[in-house]
Amino acid sequence: MKKSSFILGISSLLLMSCETLQPLVGELSRAVLEEPASVIPTELEMGNGLKEALIKGTKEGVEKLGKEGGFLDNPAVRIPFPEEYEKVANTLRDIGLGNQIDQVETTLNRAAEDAVIEASPLFVNAITSMTIADAQNILFGEKNAATLYLQSKTTAELVAKFSPKISASLDKVNATKYWSDVTDLYNKIPFVTKVNGDLTNYVTNKTIDGLFLNIAKEEEAIRENPLERTTSILKKVFDYAASKAE
């Protein structure tokens, strides 16, 4: 009996006109196109996905800057001769001592490259201690929301960690010597105001500025480039965030 009813039902469907079937096809299409619940990340997935993305982005950002040339060969973050001593640089270049200025600039950037690796554990600590509310605010926030969060959480620690490391790095790459040579040369010029700048403070602040500029680029890449979403949870979370931003 059941078999006969089933055959009768199938026969009835086959006998329906295209006009009759069209609404059914439309309903089926809408059902298929509706967003299934499985693509909506849970709060836990949002938090974990964002943390994974930030750890990935900050690690890559730090590694890029920590390589030789990471600062020196990147115009966006390259540390110039101290701006407040531009007069010193110009005067020494005018008298044929431009090489000494170039040596100072090179060693300032080498010191930054040497010190920036100290940022990684601080970033990881700030990221892993992030609350679900923090994660959601960042995920649906501005394109640099995560960078701003990390700045607020780590800048003071970065200064404390970077300063002694950069001071040691300046000595290691002879920046302190080159700076002393330059200021000594300048101070011997008649009638100039003597200079004696704090290189450690200058390079520390410039290193932090360059670091966060690079982190912001990594964050933007993950938000805007689907190819950067290299794991299933990254894809799920950031695809969903992108769909909500449209």
The pLDDT tens digits of the residues spanning 132-160 come to 889 888 888 888 999 999 999 999 999 99
User: What's at 161, amino acid-wise?
Assistant: K
How many angstroms separate the CA atoms of 245 and 160, rounded? 38
Residue 211 confidence (pLDDT) above 70: yes
Query: For position 21, what pLDDT does the model report?
Result: 43
- Domain shared by 84 and 62, yes or no: yes
- Domain shared by 14 and 89, yes or no: no
Domain range enclosing 68:
44-245
Question: Which phi and psi (to 5°) does residue 50 adopt?
Answer: -65, -45
- Domain shared by 19 and 67, yes or no: no
Please report, in angstroms and rounded to a whole number, the separation of the first and last CA atoms in the chain: 54
Query: For position 156, what pLDDT does the model report?
Result: 94
* Rounded average pLDDT over 162-170: 89
- Domain shared by 61 and 13, yes or no: no
Query: For position 241, what pLDDT does the model report?
Result: 79
Per the structure, the count of domains in the chain is: 2
* Rounded average pLDDT over 98-125: 90
How many angstroms separate the CA atoms of 52 and 41, rounded? 14
Query: For position 31, what pLDDT does the model report?
Result: 39
Residue 126 — very low, low, confident or very high, per pLDDT cuts 50/70/90?
Answer: very high
Radius of gyration of the chain (CA): 29
- Domain shared by 76 and 188, yes or no: yes
53: tokens are 């993305």
- Domain shared by 28 and 48, yes or no: no
- Domain shared by 111 and 160, yes or no: yes
- Domain shared by 190 and 222, yes or no: yes
How many angstroms separate the CA atoms of 214 and 153, rounded? 17
- Domain shared by 151 and 126, yes or no: yes
Residues 6+ apart with CB under 8 A from 231: 52
Question: Which phi and psi (to 5°) does residue 40 adopt?
Answer: -90, 115
- Tens digits of residue pLDDT in 190-200: 877 776 667 88
- Domain shared by 27 and 54, yes or no: no
Higher pLDDT, 12 or 82: 82
